[in-house]
Structures are given as C-alpha cells and as structure tokens.
Amino acid sequence: MEAVDHRNLMFEVRRGRPLPWEPGGLNARKPKRDRVWRHTVYAGVFAIADVRPVLERAFEFTESERELGSGTGDSALLSFAVDDKGRLLSGTATLSGCGWAVGRTLSPGPDDTKWLDGFDAAQDIVRKVALGIGTGKVPVASSDRAERRGRALGLIAGAGARVAIDLATGGLTAIPAVLGVVASPALGQAGAKAVEKVGDAFAKDAAEATKSAIERRRDGKSGDASGPGDTGTPAAAPGKILDVDDLVAITRWLAEELGVAEALQPNSIRVKCVEVKPNEPPSTNEILNSFYVDDLKLVADAAESGDIGVALSDFLRAEDEVGAARRVDVRERPDMVLGALTPGAMPTGRWPAAPDRPLAASQQFAVNDAVDRLMSPQARGVYAVNGPPGTGKTTMLRDLIAAIVVERAGRLATLGSARDAFAGDPLTWPTESGWNRRLYPLRPDLAGFEIVVASANNGAVENVTREVPAEKSIDRATFPGAEYLSGPATLATGVPCWGAVAAVLGNRGNRRHFSDAFWWTDPARPCSGSKPGEEAEPDETPCGLHILLRGLEDGAGERVIWSEAVARFREARTAVDRLARTRTELLAMHTRHAGSDETLEGLKKQVQRCGDLARKLRVERAGLMMSVANAAECARQARVAADAAVDDCRRASDAVDDAKSARDAATATLQGHQSSKPGWWRRLRSWRVYSAWQAQNAELVGEARAAAQRVTDAQAHVSELAGTSRDRAGEADAAKADLSAREKRVSRCDNDIAQADRDMQAAADAVARREDELRAEAELLARARARWPIAIPGSEWTAAPDDVAAMRRRELSAPWMDEEFAAARSRLFLAALDLHWAVSTNEPALMRRNLNAVMDVVRGEVPAGFPAEKALAAWQMLFFVVPVVSTTFASLSRMFAGLGREALGWLFVDEAGQAVPQASIGALWRTQRAVVVGDPRQLEPIVSLPMAGQYKLADHFRVDRAWAPGSTSVQQIADRLNVHGTWLPEPGSGGRTWVGSPLRVHRRCDRLMFEVSNAIAYDHMMVYGASDPAEPDLVDASVWIDVPAGPTGGKWNPEEGRCVRDLLLDIRDRVEQRMHREVQQSNDPPPWSLDEELWREELQRRFAESVFVVSPFRDVVRGLRQTLSNLLPARLERVGTVHVTQGKEAEVVILVLGTSDEQSGSRGWAAGRPNLLNVAATRAKRRLVIVGDHGNWSGLRHFNVLAQHPNLVVERPRIRP
C-alpha cells in the first residue's frame, strides 16, 4: 500500500487531527463536478518486513535462506470504505490474508493440519463487527491511554479506544451475544453461535462501557441497527459517522484477536481519499489481498474434476514433460526459419501498416509459427514469444489480430445473408430497471475468435489496446479509406482513432467508461454516421454506436449491401492468393538458383547417361564385329568340312559299288568255275584236273569272300562317313546360325547406338533450353531483388550461424513480403472488417438490441446468478464488434464472471515476464489458445512476501520451489513449452535459459543503449534497426554525470537531485527551441503558438513526454519528486522507480543511482542481475543520462559494460548559469 503522502491524499490518522470527512478535514476541499469524496481506511498498518521474523521462527530458516530477498512496503490488517460523510459502506470490510496468516502461523502454527483453514469464516466475522461498529450496534469505549497486557496493543493513533458492550442490543456483559446478533442474519443461528466465541476474550472490557453506552442509546445518538442489503453499490451504514475512537477500536480488536499485536505492531491507521462518481462501487480487497485467491480456488476445483483446458494443462506441465529434446534453436537453424516464411505460410490478413515497412523476419516467424500451431478450429495450447525491449511486440500482435479477424471473415463470407450470422432463438433476461433484454447469439462457427489482452498491470495492457485503434497505428497514405467505427473508438479512447479494433476494459470503471463513451454517446449536434470506407471530416462530431445503429434503423445511414461486402472480401482474398502463388513461383526459382537446379542437373545427367550408353554400345559393336568375323570363318570352315565329308561319303559309296561289282564278278567267276566242276568220272580219270579245279575253286572262293568282305567294309565305311557328314553339316548349320545371330546383334547394336545418339542430342537440347530458362529466371530474380531488396532472400540465409554480418542482413529482411503483397494482405483485413460491419448495417435493429444487452453484461449490471450461457453469448457478441479487449489479470475473473473452461478463443499475455504464474491461471483456463509475450531479462514479478517465506510455504505444501511466485513468471513457464526458441546464458550462473520464439530487431534506442542491453542481457542476439532522428537531440550525448556520494547517510543524495533539476531545465529549453523551429517552418501556425497559455501547456506536455527520471530506489524517487515537483509534477508520472517505466519510452532517460559510500549492499542488489539496468537503458530512445558516483558504480557487474562503452561521456556536474 502507499506510504503517507498528503500530496497523494494518503493521510495518517492521529487523535486531535480531523479525519478527512470531519470538519477541517479534506472534505473542506470541493471535489470536481459530478464527483464525491470517498475514503478507504487502512486499519492496523504494519511493515511487510515484520512478517519475515515470524516466518523465520516458524520455519527455522537456514543461514543461506536468511540471505534471500526480503519483502518491502506496508500493508494493513483491515480495509473498508467510508463515504464522504464518514459512514461505513457496508460490505466493503476486507480482512488482510497476510495478517490473518501471520496470526495462524503464530498459533496454531504450521504443524497443525488446519493451519491455514478458516479465512472466509474469519472475514465474515470481521465484516459483521465492522458493520456493528458502523451502525452503533457494537459500541466503543474511548480512552486516551491503553495498558499493554498479554496480546494487547498500546496506543493506536494516539488513542486507547476499545470495543465495548451495548446492553441495548441485547448483549448482557459480553460481546459474544452482540456479535451473534450482528452475524445471525448472514450466517444463521449455527454460524452466529460460532461467531460468539470470537468475543470471549473481550467480555471483561465490557462493564466499563456499559453505562455510557446505555446513555448514548437513550439520548438517540446511536443509529438504527437495520441496514441495507449488500447488493449493487454498497450503501452507507445508517446513523453513524465514524470517528478516531471507532477506527482505533476496530484496529485494536482485530490485532488482538488475530494474535499479531506483538509480532506486527499494527498500531497505525491510514486513510486514502479519492474522488469518484457518486454511484461508483468501492473496492478495497484489491489492496490488501491477492486478486486471484477466489479464482484459483474455482479453477483448482474444476481441475480436480477434470474440467481443465489444453492451454492451462500445457502451462502446468512438469519440467520433464515439456519435450525439451524437440527444441530447435532459431539462431542455429536459419534454414528452418526461412522455411517457415514462405508465401504460402503467411497469414492472409495483415495490419494496415506501411507496406514498405513489413514485419522483420523474427516477427513474421513468430506470427506464422503461432498461426500454424494455433489457428485451426481444433487447435489448443500456448505459444511463447520472447520480446526484448524495442523489438516490436505490439507490432507483431497487430498482425496476429488481423489474421484472426480475417479467419472469422472467411466464415462470414460463406453466409447467404447477414441474418445467417445469428442463431435462431434469442436469449432473454429482465434488468433491474424493468427492461427485458433480448440477445440473439452468434452461430457457433463464428465463436472462438475472441481476443483478450491481459497483463499484471494496467499500463501494459493499455499500451496494446490504446495503440491498436489509434490513427497513428496505420498508414493513412496507403489506405486512405481505412475506417471501422472510428467515431465510437475515438470516444472510447479519447484520441483520434481509425477503427474500433480494441477496447480498454478490465475494472468496472473502465468497462462503464467504455459503455458510456463507445455505445451511448449522443453529441449535441448530428453525428457523421462514421461509414466504413469513407474518411470522417475533421470537424464532424463522433457519436456512439447506439446512435449509429439507431440512425441505420431510421434510414439515416448507408447500409453496406451484403453481397457486395462478401464480393469485396472474396476479391481481396483472391488477390492475396494470386500474389502468394506468384511469390511461391519466385520462391521455387530462388530455390533453384540458391543451389543446383534439379531439372537442369537431371538433364545433364541424362546427356551423360546417353553418351555413356552410346560409347558403351560402340565398344560392344566393335567386339560383336570381331565375333562376326570369327563366326563367318568358322561357318566357312564348317561348310568346307561338311562338303568334304559329303565328298568322302560319295567316294566311299562309289567304293561300295566297286566292291559290289568286284564281289559280283568274283561270285560270278566262282559260280562259273563251280559250274565247271569235274564230275566223278573225270575226277577218277584225272586227279590232277580235279585238284587243279579244287585249287582254283578254293582261290575263287577266297576271292569271292574277300570281295564280299570288301563290300561289307566299304558299306561300313560309307555308314561311318555318312555320320561324319551329318555332323559336319550340323556344325556348318550351327556356325551359320551363330553368324546370323551375331549379325543381328550388330544390327540391334547399331539401332541402339542411333537411339542413344538421338537421346543424347535431345537431352543436350533440353539442357540448352533449361539453361535459357534459368538465365531468364535469374534476370527475373535480379529485377525482383532490385525492386524488393529485403524481400528476396540472399546468401545471408545460407551463411554460418556465427556470421554476424549475415545475421544482421537476415534479421532485417522480410522474406517474400514485398510492398504489393503486404498491401494486398492489409486490404483483405480491411475488407474483413467491412464484412463484419455489414452484419450490423444489414441488421441494425437486431444488433442494437443485442448490444444493449451486451453493455449490461460489460458494465456488470446483470441479475444475480446470471447464467453462464447468456454471459458468454454477450461477450461473444462484443468481440464480434470489437475484436480485442484488454484487462488486468486481477479484473479478469470479475469481468468474465460465469465464463468457464475454454469459453474464449485467444489470450494475449503482454509483459508476461512481470506476471507471477498464479496470476494467469484463470485467464488460461477460460481461453483456448494463449500467445504469451514478454521477456525474463526485463523487470521480474514483484512479490511482497520474502523469498525465504515463499520457499518454506512451497515446501510445506509439497510444491516444487520453482513454482514460488518470486522464482519464475508467466513468461518463463510458457517459454519452456515452445519448440522454437533460443538459449540465453544465465548471468552469473554459467547455466542457460530457454526462451520462446525471439524477436530480434531492436528499433527503439540509440546504439549505446542498444549495445549495452544486447551485451548484458541477450548474448548479442538482437540486431540494430533504429533510424536516425529528424530532430536535434535534447541532450548532446549519453553521459555519466559523476556526482560523489557521501560517506554515510541514506540513498538520497540532494546533489544528484540538483544536478537532475539543472539538466531538466536545459532539456525544457531545447524542447521550446524545437517548438520555435516548428512554428517558423510551418505555413499554417498551430493553435498553441497563438496563445501564451496554450504555448505553456504544449511545452509542458512535450517536455514531460520527452523524459523519464528513474531510480532503483524508492528513497531516491521520493527525493526526486520533491526536488522536481515544479518541473515534473507527480500527476505526469514521469518520475519513479525503474519498474514504472516498463513498456514505456522517452527520448531521454535519466537514471539516478543514489546510495552513500557505505551502502555497497544496495548497489550490489541493483547490479546483481541485468534486468534493472536493461529496462532503464532501453526506455531511452536517444540519450541515457546516469547521475551518480562513478567510482562506486562503474566497477559493478553490468554497470561496468555501460561505463566502458566508448560513446559514453563521463563528466562532473555542470553549474547552470
């Protein structure tokens, strides 16, 4: 909570000093018109640091744990709201969870199984006691002294008042009965009996107040006990104006009942005063307790029953389940990054920014990768983007918004009419004022595109949702007709807007402002109509959307013809698709030219194969020809042999014939001789004749036999020669066939050679043609590269990852995103918005009734127990009109009351490095997809509870210490889940940290700040992309003004303050010089130059916007605010701790270091991690000024990098004339 500061209307209560609502108090000041004073009382203020000793004793801290970080600041045991008259607003009393837990830690202690049970019951009791005091039902005994005894406190705010007993209420001599009476209506009889036990310790204090209490009641000074119900805006408790004694009494009672009087010494009371609208509901719980307790319980109960979505389930995944082995380091794999940046991978929608300033490669990669992983209807999960300072996180998110809007418009374009966008039956409910609301919900396929931007602080979310609709967020020169409900958007934001693409919601005040401005505003003179496609004239008065729709109902506005809006959208999408195809063709050309052309290489290989085949065939033919010659000789020889065998056979046959003739002759001779055989007579007569005959006969018989044998032999020889002849004939035939076959093979080989020659020539001709094509493509690529130098990838994408020059060219490029393609995608987004608006113009009455109902839900003005189905339908309708809304995590559960698991489409978490993981649980549970954007190297989550206490609580509940709020952030938890990211070295530990898809082009700061940040926090991952300013600098160079520290004392050094004051006066002078130059160079003098008062106001505005004065230490900030109060009033919020500047920027940042010589520990804390210096340096666009002791700080870690930078000037303070 805030420190006492009268300028900020935070007062300390003291006896003898009027309370703000008492005569002589703050109420003497008249509040602004239509405002009243409201006061928040913080009873029992204690130092958060006093919690630590309690935890140390309870948990027996080790020595190393005692050195862990400690919480700072103050809190209170109780807060409640008081109206401008000093009457308690019922239902606003809030018990501090911290104070209650300290009491429970003291007794019964952490070893008790019910250690932290019972908070809700305790808070109910406290509220009833507070109400009892506020109504007079619980009286107070006034005293100027207090005797400390037991658990009792001494004087509080200089008073010793105590809770007493009022017999008129029916309580006899003990407070239990009084409390029971007060509690009974809310808690029932059983609850009231339990409440009575709370007051047992105070019975003995009752008697001394009884008499005076009865007298006061008889005199009519106490009010009626009855009070209003706790619905709507809480009403003041009737009849009782609280005084110091009342405040002291409730403080004393609570401190002693909780048992924390001695441990926390909560003996002071503060009152914070604010101006509010009369009916604005108060809230004090946001100050004392966690915003998230109730929502965490809701989600925990749902998770236990399995009612948990994918995004939250992924977020809660254990470290060993995140799939670290799948991680791809984008710094090591530029080829993978380029592969994700193809024309076909680009979302079809793009923000209407300047086409010649597309997203840098890392931004487009993050968009494409997130869309690829999460855009499909069934997709769920978490995607993390690491956004170092000045790298364009909002710019990247704008393109995601455009992609999502176009995706829904694609579904709208399939509908036959605007009425088809709505489901058939309406949802209805009565309002408190008697109206009957009727809402036609969207058809289901148009849901799931809701975009919620959430963060831990208002500044972060408003940075996005205020920038997105603003006129300066688009390129009006290229898109002169860009318009989407600019009038209502301008009314809602208070700055000129081009379109109602986003709205700042969250707390009830923001939501009511949005409803009043965006919906209900009805200007005194007629409104313009604010028609899409037409620029509004500067002098036209904008009006709320309610008035626009009413005008359309009455025929006053121009309706967008549905079929024409659909046709325009389809034409725009066709143009994008056509350009994507042509760039895909360029990509194919680029791929061919980046390496070897596959087609050309294939043709060359074909030429080689054909030539090789022809040569092989010719070698084979030569061999075949030799074999043909050999075969021909063999065939000839075989024929000769066959012919010779035939001749031999013929001659043998002739020999047979001759032998037969000889045989026949011999036989005939024999036969003739035998016929002349002498008879027996002659034989008798002449032996000699017979002997001669016999001898001749024997000779003739032998000759006949020999002749016969010769025939047989000759015949055998003929038979043998006939076989030989047949063999030789076969051999001759085979040789002839072999010769013929070989001759055919030669013929075939000749044909194959001719074909190979033809194929080789055809391939060679194809090679020549392909080379001509490639030359033409190369010329086309060269012309494209000359026309779109950053859009056509070059050799930088194939260079080694450690090639710094190539990395810079690579990161500054925008592959395939030339101006024509970029502009076409932006026009598609504008056509998508036009199609959304066409639904309203074609169904104005239905939309007006719908949005009337929606605004009730937005404002939180719906009946108790409002059905979730109706709440969801209302929010879906709002998101149909306004695609993006923002909220803090703290307000999200109340804003989306009733919405359950995965009810909404998209969650964008901004500045996620500053948010504790627990803060995001409800948001992740209610959404289907989450894009988490942040940076663990900037400011870390602020957790009041000491780190050692967080660790011990985690151990008690058996939770991994890594989930302690001070140990991690939403960003770090989400980073673990990303497949694509990079490793950053962990400062001082030698380890490394995985971060999600990193944005790498820094476009904010001058080189000095960039280089320091890049060195101390980002392992030189970023590349420099800032442009030189058109204006002269307000400070000549970044400088370290060496102001010597004192040897002892506090962190605040008045000399540093005087030095800063002189420097700011110089800066203001230079701002005024710029204004004079602007007037001199202007043909039409600006209005502020014509009036002295307007001049001073403009000077103050420009001067304040140009500078931040920051310090690591609150003590230094307090001194600076006092010293600079006339130059930079607190209301301008330009002086603060480094934490207040995250997400912001200024031309000059002055970092005031402070500390005395002896405070080395404080300096060590500030320099321990790079985060603080990183944030301070990167808020400065042009100049960083360090004010502090150079000797004390320049040798410290991280600060030494800054001190050694060659462009940093070190000088002594100058004396301003």
pLDDT value, residue 1163? 93
| pLDDT band at residue 739 using 50, 70 and 90 as cut-offs | confident
CA–CA distance, 102 with 107 (Å, rounded to integer): 9
pLDDT over threshold 90, residue 1027: no
Largest CA distance in the chain: 216
In this predicted model, what pLDDT tens digit does every residue of 114-170 receive, in sequence order?
888 888 899 899 988 888 888 888 888 876 655 544 455 667 766 766 776 433 333
Min mean pLDDT across 387-391, 629-633, 754-758, 1157-1161 is at 629-633
Min mean pLDDT across 821-825, 938-942, 1158-1162 is at 938-942
In this predicted model, what pLDDT tens digit does every residue of 565-618 receive, in sequence order?
999 999 999 999 999 999 999 998 888 887 777 888 899 999 999 999 999 999
Residue pair 453/908 in contact (Cβ under 8 Å)? The answer is: yes
Residue 270: name the closest of 73, 458, 30 by CA.
73
Residue pair 87/223 in contact (Cβ under 8 Å)? The answer is: no
Position with higher pLDDT, 1120 vs 672: 1120
pLDDT exceeding 90 applies to what percent of the chain? 57
pLDDT over threshold 60, residue 524: no
What are the structure tokens assigned to 405, written together? 């809007």
CA–CA distance, 1121 with 985 (Å, rounded to integer): 37
pLDDT value, residue 527? 42
pLDDT over threshold 50, residue 90: yes
pLDDT value, residue 696? 86
Position with higher pLDDT, 867 vs 68: 867
Min mean pLDDT across 272-281, 394-403, 576-585, 1116-1125 is at 272-281
pLDDT over threshold 50, residue 194: no
pLDDT average, residue stretch 949-965: 82
Residue pair 105/55 in contact (Cβ under 8 Å)? The answer is: yes
Residue pair 624/749 in contact (Cβ under 8 Å)? The answer is: yes
pLDDT over threshold 50, residue 311: yes
CA–CA distance, 880 with 405 (Å, rounded to integer): 9
Position with higher pLDDT, 929 vs 987: 929
Indicate the Cα dihedral angle 1006, 1009, 1013, 1019, nearest 10°: 60
pLDDT value, residue 944? 64
- What Cα–Cα distance (Å) separates residue 521 from each residue in 284, 289, 525, 881? 30, 36, 11, 17
pLDDT value, residue 995? 97
Q: Using DSSP, how many helices (H) and how many strands (E) does the chain show?
A: 38, 26
Amino acid identity, position 69: G
pLDDT over threshold 50, residue 207: no
pLDDT over threshold 70, residue 56: yes
- Sign of the dihedral defined by the CA atoms of residues 1058, 1059, 1062, 1063, in that order: negative
| pLDDT band at residue 61 using 50, 70 and 90 as cut-offs | low
What are the structure tokens assigned to 416, written together? 């036959």
In this predicted model, what pLDDT tens digit does every residue of 1068-1080 receive, in sequence order?
999 999 999 999 9
CA–CA distance, 37 with 30 (Å, rounded to integer): 9
pLDDT average, residue stretch 730-759: 89
pLDDT average, residue stretch 1134-1150: 89
For Cα atoms 489, 495, 499, give the angle at the middle one, nearest 5 degrees. 30
pLDDT value, residue 902? 97
Amino acid identity, position 658: D
pLDDT average, residue stretch 157-186: 44
pLDDT average, residue stretch 1001-1024: 96
What are the structure tokens assigned to 851, written together? 């949005």
pLDDT over threshold 70, residue 539: no
pLDDT value, residue 1207? 95
How many residues in the chain?
1217
Whole-prediction pTM value?
0.79
Residue 312: name the closest of 902, 897, 893 by CA.
902
In this predicted model, what pLDDT tens digit does every residue of 459-518 receive, in sequence order?
777 888 899 999 999 999 999 999 999 999 999 999 999 999 999 999 988 999 999 999
pLDDT value, residue 609? 92
pLDDT value, residue 663? 86
- What Cα–Cα distance (Å) separates residue 623 from each residue in 62, 744, 788, 1101? 95, 14, 61, 99
What is the DSSP code (8-state) at residue 961? G
Across 1001-1145, the runs of DSSP E, i.e. the strands, are: 1001-1002, 1023-1024, 1039-1042, 1107-1111, 1135-1137
Position with higher pLDDT, 438 vs 786: 438
pLDDT over threshold 50, residue 1214: yes
For Cα atoms 504, 489, 1089, give the angle at the middle one, nearest 5 degrees. 105
Residue pair 1040/1189 in contact (Cβ under 8 Å)? The answer is: no
Residue pair 900/302 in contact (Cβ under 8 Å)? The answer is: yes
pLDDT over threshold 90, residue 1006: yes
Residue pair 352/478 in contact (Cβ under 8 Å)? The answer is: yes
CA–CA distance, 277 with 256 (Å, rounded to integer): 36
pLDDT average, residue stretch 298-307: 92
Cross-strand partners of 1152: 1187
Q: Percent helix, strand and coil across the chain, each rounded to 5?
A: 55, 10, 35
Set out the domains of the chain in order of their start, with CATH numbers. 10-167+235-289 (no CATH), 299-521+542-563+818-935+969-1002 (no CATH), 598-675+709-787 (1.10.287), 1007-1211 (3.40.50.300)
Residue 405: name the closest of 192, 573, 651, 580 by CA.
573
| pLDDT band at residue 235 using 50, 70 and 90 as cut-offs | low
pLDDT over threshold 60, residue 1131: yes
| Average pLDDT of every residue of the chain | 86
pLDDT value, residue 1217? 64
